[in-house]
A and B are shown apart, each in its own frame.
Chain A
């Protein structure tokens, strides 16, 4: 096992993310997955748009492409078609991937092009100052919704299942080992793999909604997991958090896995083709 820090461009470190931001934990889990799969770092391309999560590609010593806001899946589609031998991974955030680049994401999923999308969902626009995103839960306070968000929020995994992604999973940033496992699984999957990571934003979401700092937010995230929160609160181990800022429980784990023809430009690759 190599030290995952060897995959970093260490002259760029420490990274720009705020104290307690779980995006760094996600990056580490991703590097562990790359290490597990023994991917060639010159054959791994990371593509990102704009946002806190998209900043991650600046710190890794792979082929990286920092594109325009929301257009990372489009850049990645072009890259994969031109250089099919590359492993293409898109790192995007909830605002970048679901609002500004929502169209690009769903159409990449519909085509089932062989790329992996990591969507780091921190339920807010962190980089631009804490505005409400499509994933901000109903009732949560953001800088644009000081009295609580009145709009319902997105379930990104359900959207991507509907759009036709052939691998859909959701993991918690608080569970790094499971995160690594799912990421390695998703990158090995042939076809469009979508992995939503429930990350945190202590600086805006945590502060506005009185959740707390990084450590508190990671615990709070675990309680968002329907598979964890249900049994725990029913046994009284944790106090149920009735706060309006807490969205309904979400299931984690691999939610969909399907073998489907993969888009490769003028032709398509059948599932049983080598």
Chain B
């Protein structure tokens, strides 16, 4: 990146107002007299895609894309997105993140215990790169102000603390761009975001009781008649009939212990055992 231009990044999941927020940032920068380029992608962050926006500004900007490791600030609207985009932030840069977690369906590993492969909310992950952090609960702040959808303005307020743009430009940009009738609440949310203190990080949850890995599927082959009901009802596709009509477990790890196959087996041929020994999941409790 040339020395004349600087960059920032906004990231979130669909529906959080990332694109609108990035338009407001770009507009405020324009009003402050910078040359600004902005580029956004909105593609289903919860399903493996990404919802983010690059913004570069300065006296002269040639490309809107912020190179890896060179953004001054990352504003993340969701915890996992903060972790995902943090490599774009330069050493000593800043991260503004909402600590709210939105667990995508694909990260849910056991529907009975609601255990997930979602990363823990833990500020220490930013320490190694000497990042300044501001971890807030924007959703709670916006809800207190009466409109949960103003959460993006709360994040903008926190972001503004790291940018040297005059408050007037910010407020003009917000008033000009938010939907008619929501100017008041968005301005209030923006001001609240400037002042809001870091949220208390949730204590890391211990492993839900009763969960300790996949369940064991026990097939009593001499009773099984190969009617195929179990394999057809299994939501995780754990069971399959082979060419001889003999039932086989094809994906033992995916079993969530819903017991549909056991309950719907007319021949009492399937038994689901909870895993033998409990395994302690999760990191130690973070004290703060």
Partners in one complex: yes
A contacts, CB < 8 Å to B: 3-5, 8, 13-15, 17-25, 28-29, 174, 176-177, 202, 213-215, 218
In angstroms, Cα B229 to Cα A151, docked, is: 32
Residues of A close to B265: CB separation below 8 A: 24-25, 28
CB <8 Å contact, B266 and A176: no
Of chain A, the residue at the smallest CB distance from B269 is A14
> Known: A14-B225, A215-B232. Contact between A176 and B267, CB under 8 A?
no
CB <8 Å contact, B229 and A5: no
Of chain A, the residue at the smallest CB distance from B245 is A19
Q: How far is the CB of B248 from chain A (nearest CB, A)?
A: 16
CB <8 Å contact, B229 and A29: no
A-B contacts, 22 of them at CB < 8 A, read A5-B271, A8-B268, A14-B222, A14-B223, A14-B225, A14-B269, A20-B225, A20-B227, A21-B266, A24-B265, A24-B268, A25-B263, A25-B265, A28-B265, A28-B268, A174-B264, A202-B227, A214-B229, A215-B227, A215-B229, A215-B233, A218-B264
> Known: A8-B268, A14-B223, A215-B233. Contact between A20 and B228, CB under 8 A?
yes
Q: How far is the CB of A161 from chain B (nearest CB, A)?
A: 29
Q: Does B226 contact A (CB under 8 A)?
A: yes
Of chain B, the residue at the smallest CB distance from A21 is B266
Residues of B close to A15: CB separation below 8 A: 267
CB <8 Å contact, A176 and B263: yes
In angstroms, Cα B228 to Cα A24, docked, is: 14
> Known: A13-B268, A28-B268. Contact between A19 and B227, CB under 8 A?
yes
Other-chain contact of B266, A5, A22, A177 (Cβ < 8 Å)? A22
In angstroms, Cα B271 to Cα A14, docked, is: 15
| Interface mask (B250-288 → A, CB under 8 Å = 1, otherwise 0) | 000000000000011111110100000000000000000
In angstroms, Cα B265 to Cα A21, docked, is: 10
In angstroms, Cα B118 to Cα A259, docked, is: 53
In angstroms, Cα B177 to Cα A171, docked, is: 56
In angstroms, Cα B94 to Cα A36, docked, is: 58
> Known: A20-B266, A28-B268, A176-B264. Contact between A214 and B227, CB under 8 A?
yes
Q: How far is the CB of A27 from chain B (nearest CB, A)?
A: 8
In angstroms, Cα B223 to Cα A15, docked, is: 8
Question: Which of B232, B264, B269 is packed against the most chain A CB atoms within 10 Å?
Answer: B264
CB <8 Å contact, A24 and B267: yes
In angstroms, Cα B228 to Cα A224, docked, is: 21
Residues of A close to B233: CB separation below 8 A: 215, 218
CB <8 Å contact, B268 and A23: no
Q: Which of B174-228 contact A (CB under 8 A)?
A: 222-223, 225-228
CB <8 Å contact, B264 and A25: yes
CB <8 Å contact, A14 and B267: yes
Residues of B close to A29: CB separation below 8 A: 263
CB <8 Å contact, A213 and B266: no
In angstroms, Cα B227 to Cα A17, docked, is: 11
Q: How far is the CB of B129 from chain A (nearest CB, A)?
A: 49
Other-chain contact of A19, B225, B232, B264, B271 (Cβ < 8 Å)? B225
Residues of B close to A213: CB separation below 8 A: 227-228
Of chain B, the residue at the smallest CB distance from A8 is B268
Residues of B close to A21: CB separation below 8 A: 227, 266
In angstroms, Cα B225 to Cα A21, docked, is: 10
Other-chain contact of A20, B222, B223, B229, B268 (Cβ < 8 Å)? B229
Residues of A close to B226: CB separation below 8 A: 19
Question: Which of B227, B263, B266 is packed against the most chain A CB atoms within 10 Å?
Answer: B266
In angstroms, Cα B268 to Cα A171, docked, is: 20
Given contact pairs A24-B266, A25-B263, enumerate 17 new A-B contacts (beta carbons under 8 Å): A4-B268, A13-B223, A13-B268, A15-B267, A20-B266, A21-B227, A22-B266, A28-B263, A28-B268, A177-B263, A213-B227, A214-B228, A215-B228, A215-B229, A215-B232, A218-B229, A218-B233
Residues of B close to A25: CB separation below 8 A: 263-266
Q: How far is the CB of B197 from chain A (nearest CB, A)?
A: 46
Residues of A close to B229: CB separation below 8 A: 20, 214-215, 218
Residues of B close to A214: CB separation below 8 A: 227-229, 266
In angstroms, Cα B229 to Cα A5, docked, is: 19
In angstroms, Cα B220 to Cα A15, docked, is: 13
In angstroms, Cα B223 to Cα A5, docked, is: 12
In angstroms, Cα B140 to Cα A262, docked, is: 59
Q: How far is the CB of B230 from chain A (nearest CB, A)?
A: 9
Of chain B, the residue at the smallest CB distance from A3 is B271
> Known: A214-B227, A214-B229, A215-B233. Contact between A5 and B268, CB under 8 A?
yes
Top 10 nearest A-B pairs (CB, nearest first) are A24-B266, A20-B227, A19-B227, A215-B232, A19-B225, A176-B263, A14-B223, A214-B227, A214-B229, A215-B229
Residues of B close to A23: CB separation below 8 A: 266
In angstroms, Cα B222 to Cα A22, docked, is: 18
In angstroms, Cα B233 to Cα A19, docked, is: 16
Residues of B close to A19: CB separation below 8 A: 225-227
In angstroms, Cα B223 to Cα A8, docked, is: 13
Question: Which of A3, A21, A213, A214 is packed against the most chain B CB atoms within 10 Å?
Answer: A214
Of chain B, the residue at the smallest CB distance from A31 is B268
In angstroms, Cα B271 to Cα A17, docked, is: 19
Of chain B, the residue at the smallest CB distance from A174 is B264
